[in-house]
Structures are given as C-alpha cells and as structure tokens.
Structure 1
Amino acid sequence: MTLTRRQALLATGTTLTALLSGCGATQQEFTFSATPGRITQQGLSDAGYNPDQQEEIIQQRTVEAAGQERDVTVTNHLRTYTRSISQRGVSRELIAAVFTSPSISIVGQQFNPLA
C-alpha cells in the first residue's frame, strides 16, 4: 500500500496525539526533525531522473498530556525527482519521491509516527 502525502501527515498527527496523551514528562514542547532523504547522483543518472522539488513539511500541534498541554513540532522532508518518457508517441512524466519522517523518542521510548 502506498501512502499519499496527506495520509502520511494525518498519520503523523494522529500518532503523536495518541502517544502523548499519557505522557507525564515535564517538558512543555517536543520538537522532532527528520534528516532529508535523497537519491545518490549515480542512482539518478542510472535511472534517468532529475531533481525536481525539495519541501520541508512542518506539523505543529498542541496536545493534552497528563492533564497539561504540550506543543509538538514535527519536521518531515519530501524530495521529488522527475523523468520524461515516451510510449507509443505519448509523452509522460514519471515522478519518484523520497519522504522522511523523524524517529520520535518520548520518555525513553522510540516511536515511528507513520507506523
């Protein structure tokens, strides 16, 4: 199953809300940032793709945890690559994407916001 960008962002927000709902940490703000993903230059060259767009997707939420409100900021990265092909005289553009989301650790436990 392939996640759309909207589904991935919704899953991130929903998961963070669920994870922090019982958190008794004293920290008022949680910030998590992913490392931008990329395809190597050799890989792009071999596949015939060209870099297209690079986007930083920042999600901010205020959630209630242990009877207190917590601010959560998650920074995801999306990079797209394009390649033009022609099949039976019809030109098409193929798009490849690399989406990265941070690993989240709260009160010593690791969580994947997209899981």
Structure 2
Amino acid sequence: MLSNRRALAAVAVALLLTTSGCIGFLTGDEALTFAADPAAVDDTAVEEAGYELNDTRTVAVNRTFEVAGQEREVVASNELTSYDKEFDLGPLGEAQLGLFTVVSTPAVEIAGRTLNPIGSYSNARLVEFVQQRYSGMSDIERVSEQNITVQGTQTTVTKFSATATVEGQEVDVFIHVTKYRDGDDFILALGVYPQQLSGEEENVLSMMRAIEHPASE
C-alpha cells in the first residue's frame, strides 16, 4: 500500500477544468494550458528529518470540453516531489514507511475566477480523496489541527489517524495534510508515518515549514 506513491499525487490529478476567453482555445487551434511551478522541501530540512528524495515528476491532466458545439482541449501540468524514510518495525522488518509528498497544482484562473476545485477542498476532503485511491488505507479519523507558517503564509495542518496494510499486516499510521496558495499555484503537502513513531510528527511539520516554491534548482 505505502509503496504506491502515485496515490499521493491523485489529489492534484482530480482537476475539473472549465474555461473561456482564449481565442486560440475557442477556435480549436490550440489547447489552453496551465503549468504549476515545482515545489520541494529545502535540502537541509530533508536531511535533518532523515528523509531522502524519492521521485520528481510532472503529472499532466487533459480535459476535453464542448464549446459552441465543438470539442476543445485544456491541459494542466501539476508538479510532484516525494520523499521517503526507512523504519524498522520489528516483525515487519525495515521498510520505507515514512512518506512525504509535495504537490503544486495551477489555480487555473480565467476572467478572475479560480477554477481548480482543490482551492475549495478542506483538509478532510483531501484526505478522503487520497483514501479513495490509496489501496489498503481505512478507518481515517481526524485527530487534531494546528497552524504553522509556510512561505510567510499561515496554513492549517490537520492530523488524521488511519490503518494501513503493509505486506499483509495492518499498521496504524498518522497522516498530516495541509494546503495553501502561493502565487498562481496551490501547494499541498501530505506526510504519512507509523503511529508508534511518536517523534516523527515534528519531522513532518519541519519539512512542511521548509517547503520552497518555486523549488530551487
């Protein structure tokens, strides 16, 4: 279950795009495109938290709409950066059970309207969406909330408890979710780790506080 890292990008892949006002788009000569700037965690914060970079990728979402009786295409490019951390859980042995993912997704603004539904999703809605696409995760319940500052913006981090299935064994995990807007993009951060590792929460929060957008090269 936890090895399926694509599931943590699923939140950003659920864009429902609507648009108007682009001549090339309206005539069908070209697709209307939106692209997010990459987001990542500062390298020093990653190292101090004991995580390693696992993957960076662009997730392109294509949607076709009917405009004036003609089909038109919209393309949105989301950026995903994921990290993992190995833990020793006794009978389960050593496994990459600490996951941290940052997703940047374009706000998609047309004529002053923000059309990316991610902007209106609560943290509870976001974690439910992950559950729907993350096999082996169940019994998600809200535990607590706290505010932190990321890139000068105060954002709410919601902590959830859940049960995950790893190698056929059930493991109780905590999930931390936050979302904020920076410039033209929404930034989502999700951290997952076994509940028995009580000190891991501060590592996840420190990585959230160290998010950079746009990510430095």
Q: Give the shorter-chain TM-score range.
A: 0.7 to 0.9
Structure 2 residue aligned with 1:80, among 75, 82, 102? 82
Structure 2 residue aligned with 1:38, among 37, 40, 56? 40
2:23 partner SS: coil
> What is the alpha-carbon distance in structure 2 between the residues aligned to residue 25 and residue 77 of structure 1?
24
> What is the alpha-carbon distance in structure 1 between the residues aligned to residue 38 and residue 61 of structure 2?
16
1:79 is aligned with what amino acid?
Answer: T
CA, structure 1 residues 4+97, in 2 after alignment: closer, same or farther (shift >3 Å)?
closer
Structure 2 gap segments, 5+ residues each:
1-6, 26-30, 121-217
| Contact 2:108–2:115, Cα closer than 8 Å, also in 1 | yes
- Tell me by how many angstroms 1:105 deviates: 1.1
2:108 is the counterpart of 1:104: yes
- Tell me by how many angstroms 1:7 deviates: 4.9
1:5 is aligned with what amino acid?
Answer: A
> What is the alpha-carbon distance in structure 1 between the residues aligned to residue 104 and residue 50 of structure 2?
22
> What is the alpha-carbon distance in structure 1 between the residues aligned to residue 90 and residue 74 of structure 2?
50
CA RMSD, Structure 1 to Structure 2 (Å)? 2.2
| Contact 1:60–1:71, Cα closer than 8 Å, also in 2 | yes
> What is the alpha-carbon distance in structure 1 between the residues aligned to residue 10 and residue 47 of structure 2?
30
Structure 1 gap segments, 5+ residues each:
none
| Contact 2:12–2:103, Cα closer than 8 Å, also in 1 | no
Runs of at least 4 residues off by over 4 Å: none
Moved more, 60-69 or 26-35: 60-69
2:112 is aligned with what amino acid?
Answer: G
1:92 is aligned with what amino acid?
Answer: A
- 1:46-76: per-residue Cα shift (whole Å, max 9, x none)? 2111111111111122211344432101000
| Contact 1:52–1:82, Cα closer than 8 Å, also in 2 | yes
Aligned positions of 1:47-58 closer than 5 A: 47-58=49-60
CA, structure 1 residues 77+24, in 2 after alignment: closer, same or farther (shift >3 Å)?
closer
Structure 1 residue aligned with 2:10, among 6, 13, 19? 6
Size of the aligned set, in residue pairs, is: 106
1:35 partner SS: coil
CA, structure 1 residues 4+39, in 2 after alignment: closer, same or farther (shift >3 Å)?
closer
State the TM-score, normalizing by the size of structure 2.
0.43
> What is the alpha-carbon distance in structure 1 between the residues aligned to residue 52 and residue 89 of structure 2?
19
